[in-house]
Structure 1
Amino acid sequence: MRTLVHLSDLHFGRVDPELLDPLRDLVHRLAPSVVVVSGDLTQRAKSEQFEEARAWLDTLPGPQIVVPGNHDISLYNVFRRFALPLERYKRYITDDLDPVFIDDEVAVLGVNTARSLTWKDGRVNKEQVDKIRATLASMPKDIVRVVVTHHPFDLPEGSTDEDDLVDRAHMAMDAFADVGVDLLLAGHLHKSHAGNTQARYKISEYAALVVQAGTATSTRGRGEVNSFNVIRTEPRKIEVDRYGWDSVHKQFQLLATEKFMRSGNVWAEVNEGLLAAGI
């Protein structure tokens, strides 16, 4: 089993500083196999915000898979936005925009979906998808395959803005089905969500698990408490714990656990009765 701590939308420049130390301490206690950060490390891609983000990431355990978000590209500096869109991100965070972690149980592939030509939307391109296909194609089936993006491949219940979805998602999903991607992690919406891709993407005998993280530390909660996910992966079972900020006790508390199992290449939520029966 591998444990992934999934953080997103840190937004240094608009963080609640009260959350940083308790979150850091809890992440260490959780002893993750990998820390995943799915974008928007800063609010406005300023050097001092990247410096703060880098300093805080350095207090977390590794290995870390970090990808940029749309807020990590300058918004108001037009030259920097189009000529040097992720130069500060690469200087302070990492120059690897599509990072990879692989061991004998899990493969975690980060994909940069942030683009300077759109204000908040994101996309994947054929080269990125081809890299994912090449990386995963020859792996043993029991290695859990995880793709991390900032922009989501699916939307939480009640969200209707299709523009929030990553562009060229159908092209990517066809490739994911071919190589058996199990789990898609994303952020961007500041809303927590877990489900599968079956309703949106009509791919025969395939449905990946989609897990969306809320904002871990930003003051822009959009109606949710600050939250993050802890994901425990096995070849046929994935559990998702959602932790949320308790403002009374000044700590993150476990709010809910969702359990999913794989049948063939289809991931679906299961209830406790089925799990107890070994189904």
Structure 2
Amino acid sequence: MRTLVHLSDLHFGRVDPALLAPLRELVERVAPDVLVVSGDLTQRARPEQFEEARAFLDSLPGPQIIVPGNHDISLYDVFRRFVLPLQRYKRYISKDLEPVYIDEEIAVIGVNTARSLTIKDGKVSRRQIDGIRARLAGLPKELTRIIVTHHPFDLPEHFEERDLVNRAPLAMQVFAETGVDILMAGHMHHSHAGSTAERYQISEYAALVIQAGTATSTRGRGETNSFNVLRVEQQMVEIDRYSWDTVRTGFHIVNTEKFMRTGSVWTPHIDGMLAAGL
């Protein structure tokens, strides 16, 4: 079993500082095998915001898989936005925009979906999709395969189609071909876990999609600050959602969900029964 902590949308420059120490202490107690941060480390991609984000990341355990988000590209500095879009991210966070972690049980692949030509939307290119296919092709079949992006490939039905990353259907076909198990993302400041089966009707394939809310930002969009802890086994994933409790001034588990894999299909598991069979 592997334990992953999934943080997203930190938005340094607009954080609630009261959350930082409790979050750090809890992540240390969880002691994850991998820490995943799915984008938007800053609010406006300013140097001081990246410095704060870097200091916070340095206080957390590793290894860390971090990808940029749309807020990590300068919004108002036109030259930086279109000529040097992620220069500061590379300087302060990582030169590797698509990091990879592989061990005996999991393969975690970061994919950069942030783009200069849009304000908030994300995109995955054909080159990136081909790169994912090539990177996963030679891995042992028993590894649980995890893709990390900022922009989501799937969302609950009440969200709009335009909220999904561009070229999502094409990418999903490659994910099916290469046996991708889990899709982790952020961007929406909305927590969610579910199967891709309803949106993407691909024969004998459905990935587990996991959205993290904003861990530290004051821009909650109606949801309390939260993050996920995943316990990943070959046939089962358990997801604990931690949410900020203003009364007890700490992060506490508010929801636990389990998903089981049959073949290449991930399905919710409720009270010892697969939800699809209820």
Q: What TM-score, normalized to structure 1?
A: 0.97
* Contact persistence 1:107–1:146 (CA under 8 A): yes
Question: Residues of 2 paired with 1:19 and 1:271: CA distance?
Answer: 32
Tell me how far 1:201 sits from its aligned partner.
0.9
User: For each residue in 1:101-159, what CA deviation from the matched residue of structure 2 results, as whole angstroms up to 9, or x when unmatched?
Assistant: 00010000000000000000000011111121111112222210000000000113522
Q: Name the counterpart of 1:205.
A: 204
Question: Residues of 2 paired with 1:42 and 1:219: CA distance?
Answer: 12
Q: Name the counterpart of 2:118.
A: 118
Question: Residues of 1 paired with 2:27 and 2:100: CA distance?
Answer: 21
Runs of 4 or more, structure 1, over 4 Å off, are none
The yes-or-no answer on 1:173 pairing with 2:172 is yes
Question: Residues of 2 paired with 1:205 and 1:67: CA distance?
Answer: 30
* Contact persistence 1:112–1:124 (CA under 8 A): yes
Q: Name the counterpart of 1:148.
A: 148
Tell me how far 1:72 sits from its aligned partner.
0.3
* Contact persistence 1:156–1:191 (CA under 8 A): no
2:169 maps to amino acid: H
User: For each residue in 1:74-99, what CA deviation from the matched residue of structure 2 results, as whole angstroms up to 9, or x when unmatched?
Assistant: 00111110000000000000010010
Question: Residues of 1 paired with 2:56 and 2:195: CA distance?
Answer: 32
Q: Name the counterpart of 1:63.
A: 63
1:236 maps to amino acid: Q
Tell me how far 1:29 sits from its aligned partner.
0.2
Question: Residues of 1 paired with 2:143 and 2:208: CA distance?
Answer: 15
Q: Name the counterpart of 1:217.
A: 216
2:121 maps to amino acid: D
Question: Residues of 1 paired with 2:68 and 2:85: CA distance?
Answer: 11
* Contact persistence 1:156–1:192 (CA under 8 A): no
The yes-or-no answer on 1:10 pairing with 2:20 is no
Classify the secondary structure of the residue corresponding to 2:273: helix
User: For each residue in 1:156-215, what CA deviation from the matched residue of structure 2 results, as whole angstroms up to 9, or x when unmatched?
Assistant: 3522x2111000111111110001000000000000000011111121100000000000
Q: Name the counterpart of 2:161.
A: 162
Classify the secondary structure of the residue corresponding to 1:5: strand
Question: Residues of 2 paired with 1:186 and 1:274: CA distance?
Answer: 27
The yes-or-no answer on 1:95 pairing with 2:95 is yes
Question: Residues of 2 paired with 1:137 and 1:203: CA distance?
Answer: 19
Question: Residues of 2 paired with 1:273 and 1:139: CA distance?
Answer: 31
Q: CA RMSD in A?
A: 0.9
The yes-or-no answer on 1:246 pairing with 2:245 is yes
The yes-or-no answer on 1:195 pairing with 2:178 is no
Gaps of 5+ in 2: none
The yes-or-no answer on 1:26 pairing with 2:33 is no
2:130 maps to amino acid: D
The yes-or-no answer on 1:74 pairing with 2:74 is yes
Aligned positions, number: 274
Q: What TM-score, normalized to structure 2?
A: 0.97
Tell me how far 1:19 sits from its aligned partner.
0.1
| Equivalent residue runs for 1:251-266 within 5 Å | 251-266=250-265
Q: Percent identity?
A: 70
